[in-house]
A and B are shown apart, each in its own frame.
Chain A
Amino acid sequence: MADQDQIADELAGFALFADLSTPQLEGIVHAFEEAWFQDGERVLRQGMTGSGLYLILDGQASIRVDGEERARLSRGEFFGEVSILLGEPPVADVVAVGTLRCLVLAGPAVEKFLHDHPALMYRMLQASARRLRNANRWRS
């Protein structure tokens, strides 16, 4: 269990939040909710509407398409943004590997959140570009 000040300190160490001030980080922690998943629990469900943006605080998440693992994410990484940006259900299951603790922002709140934090949006775009590059390498 961490209180919100501790979580704000944790966020300060993540690349995604590197450009934000402490008061901004505190605001983000208040806007997000903390969620906890046990090993094997589904966080996002392939093909099912109504997801959110997740940021991993502790643990690992497996990205699985039709049951096959495609990637594994860990502390400081995020997921769920693709389905929100495109307004489509997730194309993969995201499953907790061991205990997984996340911050969650509800899908309908993501657009305003990103507009309010353009520096964070840029960092997220960089991360997405990296993922795209790696995916293309994998294909070639």
Chain B
Amino acid sequence: MAELTERPFPPGDYPLVVVGSGPGGLQVSSALGGLGIRHALLSADEQPGGMFRRWPFFQRLLSWTKPYAPVARATRAYERYDWNSLIPESDEHRAVMVGLMDGTSYFPSRPEMQAGLEAFTSRTNLKVRFGCRWTGTSRLDDGRFILETTDGEYTAGTLVIAVGVAEPWRPTSPGMELAAHYADTQPVETYADKRIFIVGKQNSGFELASGMLPWAKRIIIASPSPARLSVNTHSLVGIRARYLQPYEDHVLGGGVAILDAGIERIEPGSPGDAPFRVVTRRSSDSVEMAFDVDAVIAATGFVAPLLDLPDLGVATFGQSRLPAQTPFWESATMPGVFFAGTIGQGSGGLKKHGIPSNSGAVQGARYNARVLARHIATTRFGVKLERPTLAPASVVEFLLDELTQGPELWHQRAYLGRVLSLDPDDGIRDEGILPLAWFVDAGGPDAVAATLETDGTGAVYPVIYLRRGGSVSEHALEAHPLLDYRTASARSALASILAPVLGGSSIPLASS
């Protein structure tokens, strides 16, 4: 009992409740703590880590932490090369993943990632009420929320939901219930000398196929549209290079077949021959094809487990049932409910050239969570943030430094921006990192936002958004092969872009 009474955050009234102890919940709690916002952090799990306590199935991540990088470890710039460590409030806890990896790969293993999240939690002294499952939600007349949990009721004016996109989803084709979901994949030895049919051409399907290559007799991967490859999209959209081996086996005729076909139905097979028959219809010409196989796995994705929030008024969309969100990750239909972690993908941002943010991955979501914490602190708790002043002569160099080294702009391209306000009476102030969609659409006083963008050709280039007299203009700078934009031509280009807003000020621009 003594142990029970020591659990933090007993049921009761809190200004804010965060639900979830994956990377999203931990990062937002850490940042809220740094801003002095009292809150409870609840988790159904017994340890931190969220989905990394279980997946990826083949136990190695897709996101890297490079032990040796062009910049020093434990610096902010190093975060560009370390996609997996959460961002602490003090420098001593930076880059926690580096010390926990065994050197066999720069992609951490799943247990290494879990250890990293546990280490971040203990080293930064984050408090979590584990074993406390959120079970339902309602609202009081005064607008506050009631969270029902397995430990009792919590009331709070503000909620941050960070429960991942973690509930297995499968399409409704007849017989799809006969397929195992990715989440229920068996130990790989189970598939020795078997014919495997994988539904879905996302990374999860190709991850399974890659892991099964040494075991399965035949692998068929099918979905209606062609596989997209990250090496072709020049982005994180599509199947990552690590999982391309099945694709090559398909092209070279190695016992893997990749089909563009819809699943008509799955039915029991003939006894003694094959347990399952999968009937497909080819997308290009509607030809029906049937496959007798030993196992069917639906690598068809996950949905956000929002419990009763949609009934309460939280609008959702898309196959992943993501909540529709504002640029600051607040429910578009239920103010006061915010989202962190992978659910933040529902705040799509500008999606320029069709390239999404990295909000579905740790390296993107960790920055969203920090921006969210600042937004909540200022808008709901009256916190005044520090807004450092910049001399006009230092603006060009400051922005080019951020564009060259700032990790937020690198990981969340065309999604987060470094914003400077340009008030003639108040001077030039660093407003920090903010959502670009908000900057572009919300209007407001004169300001500049700097971000990095890519257009699908492989080039990465800075883009400056200038808000002047209420309207926003867009100005791209040249790409640079080493991604170092601190060049004479970039200085000159940026200075001329900023001239209309800085040129008339009493202090001259940086000389270029």
A123 within 8 A of B: no
Interface residues of A in 59-114 (CB under 8 A from B): 89, 99, 101, 104-109
B354 within 8 A of A: yes
Could you say which of A22, A28, A50 contacts B352, with CB atoms under 8 Å apart? A50
Q: With contacts A5-B173, A23-B281, A36-B315 known, what are 12 further pairs, Cβ within 8 A? A: A1-B318, A3-B171, A22-B286, A23-B261, A23-B284, A36-B318, A38-B324, A41-B441, A48-B350, A49-B455, A50-B414, A107-B353
Judging by beta carbons under 8 Å apart, are A27 and B456 in contact? no
A29 within 8 A of B: yes
Least CB distance from A23 to B in Å reads 5
Contacts A34-B317, A36-B315, A52-B351: A4 and B171 contacting too (C-beta < 8 A)? yes
Contacts A26-B262, A50-B455, A52-B351: A35 and B283 contacting too (C-beta < 8 A)? no
B127 within 8 A of A: no
Least CB distance from B276 to A in Å reads 20
Judging by beta carbons under 8 Å apart, are B354 and A26 in contact? no
Least CB distance from A12 to B in Å reads 13
17 sample A-B contacts, Cβ–Cβ < 8 Å, listed by A number: A3-B171, A21-B286, A23-B224, A23-B282, A23-B283, A30-B225, A31-B225, A33-B318, A34-B318, A35-B348, A36-B324, A38-B332, A45-B440, A47-B473, A49-B455, A50-B350, A50-B455
Least CB distance from A17 to B in Å reads 14
B357 within 8 A of A: no
Return the 7 tightest CB-CB contacts between A and B, nearest first. Answer: A106-B354, A50-B352, A30-B225, A36-B317, A27-B283, A26-B224, A27-B224
Judging by beta carbons under 8 Å apart, are B283 and A101 in contact? no
**Which chain B residue has the least Cβ–Cβ distance from A106?**
B354
Q: Which residues of A contact B29 (CB under 8 A)?
A: none
The tally of residues in A whose CB lies under 8 Å from a CB in B reads 37
B474 within 8 A of A: yes
Least CB distance from A75 to B in Å reads 16
Interface residues of B in 450-509 (CB under 8 A from A): 453, 455-456, 472-474, 476
With the chains together, A22 CA to B284 CA distance in Å? 10
A134 within 8 A of B: no
With the chains together, A101 CA to B172 CA distance in Å? 21
Least CB distance from A13 to B in Å reads 18
Q: Which residues of A contact B476 (CB under 8 A)?
A: 49
B260 within 8 A of A: yes
Judging by beta carbons under 8 Å apart, are A1 and B332 in contact? no
Interface residues, chain A, with chain B CB atoms under 8 Å away? 1, 3-5, 21-24, 26-31, 33-36, 38, 41-42, 45, 47-52, 89, 99, 101, 104-109
B223 within 8 A of A: yes
B321 within 8 A of A: yes
Majority secondary structure of chain A interface residues (helix, strand, loop or mixed): mixed
With the chains together, A33 CA to B282 CA distance in Å? 21
**Which chain A residue has the least Cβ–Cβ distance from B346?**
A36
**Which chain A residue has the least Cβ–Cβ distance from B463?**
A49
Majority secondary structure of chain B interface residues (helix, strand, loop or mixed): loop
The tally of residues in B whose CB lies under 8 Å from a CB in A reads 41
Contacts A23-B286, A30-B223, A107-B353: A47 and B172 contacting too (C-beta < 8 A)? no
Interface residues of B in 329-365 (CB under 8 A from A): 332-333, 348, 350-355
Could you say which of A3, A29, A108 contacts B353, with CB atoms under 8 Å apart? A108
Encode contact with A along B307-332: 1 for CB under 8 Å, 0 otherwise.
00000000111110100101000001
Judging by beta carbons under 8 Å apart, are A52 and B440 in contact? no
Judging by beta carbons under 8 Å apart, are B354 and A107 in contact? yes
Judging by beta carbons under 8 Å apart, are B352 and A99 in contact? no
With the chains together, A127 CA to B326 CA distance in Å? 33
With the chains together, A42 CA to B440 CA distance in Å? 10
Q: Which residues of A contact B414 (CB under 8 A)?
A: 50
Interface residues of B in 272-328 (CB under 8 A from A): 281-284, 286, 315-319, 321, 324, 326
Q: Which residues of B contact A49 (CB under 8 A)?
A: 352-353, 455, 474, 476
Q: Which residues of B contact A24 (CB under 8 A)?
A: 283-284, 286
Judging by beta carbons under 8 Å apart, are A48 and B353 in contact? no
Q: Which residues of B contact A108 (CB under 8 A)?
A: 353-354, 455-456
Q: Which residues of A contact B332 (CB under 8 A)?
A: 36, 38
With the chains together, A97 CA to B324 CA distance in Å? 16
Q: Which residues of B contact A89 (CB under 8 A)?
A: 474
Least CB distance from A95 to B in Å reads 10
Least CB distance from A45 to B in Å reads 7
Q: Which residues of B contact A50 (CB under 8 A)?
A: 350-354, 414, 453, 455
Least CB distance from A28 to B in Å reads 8
Least CB distance from B172 to A in Å reads 6
Q: Which residues of A contact B284 (CB under 8 A)?
A: 23-24
Output the residue of A36, A41, A48 with the most chain B CB within 10 A. Answer: A36
With the chains together, A22 CA to B352 CA distance in Å? 30
With the chains together, A34 CA to B317 CA distance in Å? 7
With the chains together, A41 CA to B260 CA distance in Å? 35
Least CB distance from B446 to A in Å reads 18
Judging by beta carbons under 8 Å apart, are B348 and A4 in contact? no
With the chains together, A75 CA to B317 CA distance in Å? 17
With the chains together, A21 CA to B285 CA distance in Å? 8
Q: Which residues of B contact A105 (CB under 8 A)?
A: 354
Q: Which residues of B contact A52 (CB under 8 A)?
A: 351, 354
Q: Which residues of B contact A27 (CB under 8 A)?
A: 224-225, 260, 262, 283
Q: Which residues of A contact B321 (CB under 8 A)?
A: 1
Output the residue of A1, A41, A45, A101 with the most chain B CB within 10 A. Answer: A1
Least CB distance from A62 to B in Å reads 15
Q: Which residues of B contact A22 (CB under 8 A)?
A: 262, 281, 286
Encode contact with A along B244-285: 1 for CB under 8 Å, 0 otherwise.
000000000000000011100000000000000000011110
Judging by beta carbons under 8 Å apart, are B474 and A3 in contact? no
Least CB distance from B312 to A in Å reads 15
Q: Which residues of A contact B456 (CB under 8 A)?
A: 106, 108
Q: Which residues of B contact A1 (CB under 8 A)?
A: 316-318, 321
Least CB distance from B53 to A in Å reads 28
